[in-house]
Amino acid sequence: MNELAERLARRYDAEGWHEQRKDLASISIPALRVRDVLAWLRDEEGYKHLSFITAIDNIERGVFTLTYTVRNHDTKHSLMVHADIIRENPVVDSVHLLWEQAWTYQRELKEWFGIDCPGSPRKDEEFVLEGWDQLPMMRRDFDSLAYSNATYAERPGRVTHDPAAYMKAQLYPEADQ
């Protein structure tokens, strides 16, 4: 498999090949080359099946890391292709022409992270939410609990425990003293 890593590095400045399992590896590429790399992988290297597209919010580094997972069904090998895009203006090329289901994932990226894929069909329509007026909710700076507490009425009497403290008090009450 390492020839693939070398070829990717030579052609597309890919780096950080990491062999996770014998049938799974990951690699990072520059975000501008996403469509080229995926098209090349699909057409030349046999990675014909797109498993999913998703993003990780690396807020500490100020980037979204996109993950495209593709599989080669002949060698039974999966490859996770990573690309970093900056958080302030997250735009990435759309791959909806390579795979017909990709637009759904890109619609999800738009709604859940605010990542824009210009040209992707129906990307601005609402996907799973309705009337959402907050930050895209999968961003790490969106606080789900605070929003929930502020919006939805709660039945009084519900208590929450810290699991560690609670279990200690229940099981080993004498341990503290």
Partner 1 sequence: MSSKKIEMAPLANEGLPLEERALFCDVPPREYEPARGVIEDFYNWARSQSLWILGFGTGCGAIELRPLMTSRFDMYRFGIQPRATPRQSSVFVIGGYASVKTLKRIVRSYEQMMGPKFVVALGSCTINGGMYWDSYNTIKRIDQYIPVDTYITGCMPRPEALLAGFQELKKIIRAGRAEGQNLYARNFEWYKENQKKVIKDWNMPDYNW
Partner 2 sequence: MKRDRMPYIPPAERATPDLDSGKYLLMWQGPQHPGITGNMSLRLVIEGDTVVDCETHVGYLHRGFEKLMERRSWMQNFPLVCRIAVPEPDFNEYCYAAALEELSGIQIPEKAVWLRTFSLELMRLASYLMWIGGQAGSFGHGTIIQWSATMRDYVLDLFEELTGGRIYHMYIIPGGVRGDVPAGYFKHVLEVMDTVQKNLDDIELVMYHNAVFKLRAEGLGYIPPDWIDRYGITGPNARAAGIKRDLRKDLGYLAYPQLEFQPVVGSKSDAFERARLRLQEMYQCIDLIRQCIDLMPKEGPFRAKTPNPLYWKVPAGETYVAAECTRGEYGFYVVSDGSEKPRRVAVRGPSYTHAVSVMERLVRGVNIADVAGLMVSLHTYPPEIER
Residues that bind partner 2 (CB under 8 A): 20-21, 23-24, 26, 48-52, 54, 56-57, 67, 69, 73, 76, 78, 80, 99-101, 103-105, 126-130, 137-138, 140, 142, 144-145, 163-164, 167
With CB under 8 A as the contact rule, the residue among 144, 170, 172, 173 that binds partner 1 is 144
For the CB of residue 154, give the shortest distance to partner 1 in the complex, in Å: 5
Binding part of the chain for partner 1, among 89-97, 101-109, 113-121, 150-158 by CB under 8 A, reads: 150-158
Amino acid at residue number 78: S
For the CB of residue 25, give the shortest distance to partner 2 in the complex, in Å: 10
Distance (Å, whole) CA 171 – CA 177 = 14
What kind and span of H or E run contains 171? helix 163-171
CA-based torsion, 30, 135, 109, 20: positive or negative = positive
- Kindly write down the DSSP assignment for every residue of 9-71, as one continuous string: HHHH--EEEEEEETTEEEEEE-GGGHHHHHHHHHHTS---EEEEEEEEEETTTTEEEEEEEEE
Distance (Å, whole) CA 38 – CA 43 = 8
x/- map, 103-142, partner 1, by CB under 8 A: -------------------------xxxxxxx--x----x
Instruction: Give residues in contact with partner 1 (CB under 8 A).
Output: 128-134, 137, 142, 144-145, 147-148, 151-155, 157-158, 160
